[in-house]
Structure 1
Amino acid sequence: MKKMINKPENIVTEMIGGMLKAFPDYLEQVGDLPVVKRKNKKEGKVALISGGGSGHEPSHAGFVGYGMLDAAVAGEVFTSPSADKVYEAIKAVDSGNGVLLIIKNYSGDVMNFEMAAEMAGMEGINVKKIIVNDDIAVENSTYTVGRRGIAGTVLVHKMVGAAAEKGYSLDDLEVLGNKVISRTKTMGMSLKPCMVPTTGKLSFELPEDEVEIGLGIHGEPGTHREKMQDANAHVDYLLDKILKESELLENDEVAVLVNGLGETTLIELYIINNRVSEVLANKNIKVYDTIVGNYMTSLDMGGFSITLVKLDDEMKELLKAKADTPAFKRF
């Protein structure tokens, strides 16, 4: 294993330290915990918190800042953060108008974030949650009951974050968040496994001439394996599945996220997006906004995912609203 780390047990601590030093105007730490919060806390707004296991950077700490999250809680690599750390994050960012937890649908995350919400509720903090389940590949998986939460989570951060900045109430943010989630569909594929630095082992085995369709961001099994084809063939397959789930009609408007899993180059991601755009144009589906890059990774996994979000006028305005975070900016 060739990784630029020191001791495996210090990976998360040293990563957070480096991130805080890189973005001192944006971020600060909650005590000595793996919790990063927005440096210039805005009073009077509902606070948004997300998080999960490390290894998906820039998710989620990279999205802490104006127009997105107020705090992110990091667990160890591919491991949910404990409830007490989420609880401390809630207390650190609550300004009296409540806290909304944005949770990816993994059993450990859901359990620990819900437990933290109960702990905060006992202290009089109003906490609600939304659970992102955008991955259409499989219904149940190694770590979930129901569909997994993957790259579409970033667009939930963006739209719900913009609404919180505008002054939406906690109840209204919960309604909006669930609407965005219901309209967000993602599916991905892997070309190669990732190397897990805490174990020094590959997350799974995959022959050189095969890909895995619908793989999860922790290396969970997908729907099937098949021989490697050209980019257009794989995009066409994924988009066909996504479009059937999205119930899109002609002249509907969508946001597109082409997300890299860590190793896949921007050259490849732009080639993928080129085909996505062609297919949608041929179906008379209008692309309102396109985002390409590494937003929800899986360490150094080779692969990508495609997300489509069916937009309405409210969501279009929120998607384009200002955001200023280390990993996502809109001006």
Structure 2
Amino acid sequence: MKKIINDPKDVVAEMVDGMVRAYPQYVQQVPETFALVRSNQDSMKGKVGIVSGGGSGHEPTHAGFVGQGMLSAAVAGQVFTSPTPDQIYEAIKVVDQGKGVFLVVKNYSGDVMNFDMAKDLAEMDGIEVKSVVVDDDIAVENSLYTQGRRGVAGTVLMHKILGAAADQGASLAELAKIAQAVLPKLKTIAVALSAATVPEVGKPGFELADDEIEYGVGIHSEPGYRREKIKPAKSLATELLTKIDDELKLDPNKQYALLVNGMGATPLMEQYIFTHNILDLLAEKNIKPSFIKVGNFMTSLDMAGISLTLLELADSTWLNALNYPVETIAW
């Protein structure tokens, strides 16, 4: 294992410290926690707070999306491990402005349990809390850490839409309604060329031969649905888009947002080649996405691979929300 780290036990603490000191204009750390909140506290006044989080190793998710117009706070757990309920609870308390707090949770057993416990603690303090559990990964129904589908890169689009709505004054009930409307229209699937290596483990989460790929892997190196020999980018794009088409029933009379996401070790050159193929395939269906984003948004440490997300823009306000200006590290 070759990584630019010190003691593997200190990676999260040192990462959080480095991020806060590099970008003090965007984020600050809640003392004695790995929770990061907006530096511009005034931007949250009179508005519903939005909190997300999860295991570290997915950067820039989640702290890279903390800032005006997006998340109010993000809580970092240890690598590929849910943040603890007490740290989530501290973040909820900091961002609560009397209008309630909305939690965006990826569908992993530890995250769901710990965010629910934090929600209970907050409600005992009189803070109203609602939440959404994002399950956009269509690759497999159940996986190592989930009941049902996993929450992956599409979560970032959920952050963006809810963040814009909250910034414009949406109530807690309105945010819950938006989240439940977005959820079934949001679909993601990935392909991996190599697995992630957790620093404290020191070896990849699974092994692929030099000429192998695996479709449908999760962001914690969870298994996918098929391995085969590496193919050209167009073949990979065809496989992933076909799976999403099976779910969304792509329609040229509807609008879509497209997110192409690098898994951590995939050069932008390759991401743009893949995007080129996806856009060609969509054009064959007479579909031109109304919103496109390409880059590293929900990574898996040093995994080589790519994920494809499509969101059917069933409400015209969602496109406005995706284009809404934000002040964050990573959007």
TM-score of the two chains, using structure 1 as the length reference: 0.98
Counterparts of 2:246 and 2:69, CA distance in 1: 31
Counterparts of 2:104 and 2:56, CA distance in 1: 16
Shift of 1:101: 0.3
* Match of residue 324, structure 2, among 314, 317, 321: 321
State the match for 1:272 in structure 2: 274
Q: How does 1:225-304 map to 2 (within 5 A)?
A: 225-304=227-306
Counterparts of 2:34 and 2:11, CA distance in 1: 11
Shift of 1:32: 2.2
Counterparts of 1:195 and 1:316, CA distance in 2: 36
RMSD: 0.7
Shift of 1:195: 1.6
State the match for 1:60 in structure 2: 62
What is the count of residue pairs matched by the alignment? Answer: 328
Counterparts of 1:287 and 1:229, CA distance in 2: 25
Shift of 1:249: 1.4
The residue matched to 1:161 in structure 2 has which SS?
A: helix
Q: How does 1:31-70 map to 2 (within 5 A)?
A: 31-41=31-41, 42-70=44-72
Could you tell me whether the CA contact under 8 Å between 1:252 and 1:286 is conserved in 2?
A: no
Counterparts of 2:254 and 2:81, CA distance in 1: 38
Q: How does 1:207-222 map to 2 (within 5 A)?
A: 207-222=209-224
Q: Which amino acid aligns with 2:46?
A: G
Counterparts of 1:221 and 1:181, CA distance in 2: 23
Q: Which amino acid aligns with 1:323?
A: V
* Match of residue 98, structure 1, among 97, 100, 110: 100
Counterparts of 1:178 and 1:29, CA distance in 2: 30
Counterparts of 1:125 and 1:36, CA distance in 2: 19
Q: Deviations 1:217-238 (Å, cap 9, x if unpaired)?
A: 0000001111110000011011
Counterparts of 2:302 and 2:210, CA distance in 1: 16
Q: Deviations 1:158-212 (Å, cap 9, x if unpaired)?
A: 0110000000000000110121121110000100112211111111111111101
178-187 vs 153-162, greater mean Cα deviation: 178-187
Q: Which amino acid aligns with 1:272?
A: F
Q: Which runs of 4+ in 1 moved over 3 A?
A: none
Counterparts of 1:43 and 1:182, CA distance in 2: 31
The residue matched to 1:13 in structure 2 has which SS?
A: helix
Counterparts of 2:240 and 2:220, CA distance in 1: 19
State the match for 2:30 in structure 1: 30
Shift of 1:243: 1.1
Counterparts of 1:316 and 1:257, CA distance in 2: 13
Q: Which runs of 5+ in 1 are unaligned?
A: none
Matched, 1:166 2:175: no
The residue matched to 1:120 in structure 2 has which SS?
A: helix
Shift of 1:286: 2.6
Could you tell me whether the CA contact under 8 Å between 1:61 and 1:73 is conserved in 2?
A: yes
Q: How does 1:186-201 map to 2 (within 5 A)?
A: 186-201=188-203
Matched, 1:305 2:307: yes
Counterparts of 1:303 and 1:147, CA distance in 2: 19
Counterparts of 1:230 and 1:81, CA distance in 2: 38
Counterparts of 2:10 and 2:283, CA distance in 1: 48
The residue matched to 1:286 in structure 2 has which SS?
A: coil
Q: Which amino acid aligns with 1:120?
A: A
Q: Which amino acid aligns with 2:212?
A: E
Q: Deviations 1:112-165 (Å, cap 9, x if unpaired)?
A: 000100010011000000010000000000000000000000000001100000
Counterparts of 2:36 and 2:141, CA distance in 1: 32
Q: How does 1:41-190 map to 2 (within 5 A)?
A: 41=41, 42-190=44-192
Q: Deviations 1:38-57 (Å, cap 9, x if unpaired)?
A: 01122100000000000000
Q: Which amino acid aligns with 2:268?
A: L
Shift of 1:248: 2.3
Counterparts of 1:242 and 1:16, CA distance in 2: 35
Q: Which amino acid aligns with 2:31?
A: G
Could you tell me whether the CA contact under 8 Å between 1:68 and 1:162 is conserved in 2?
A: yes
Counterparts of 2:266 and 2:155, CA distance in 1: 20
Q: Which amino acid aligns with 2:165?
A: A
Q: Which amino acid aligns with 1:224?
A: R
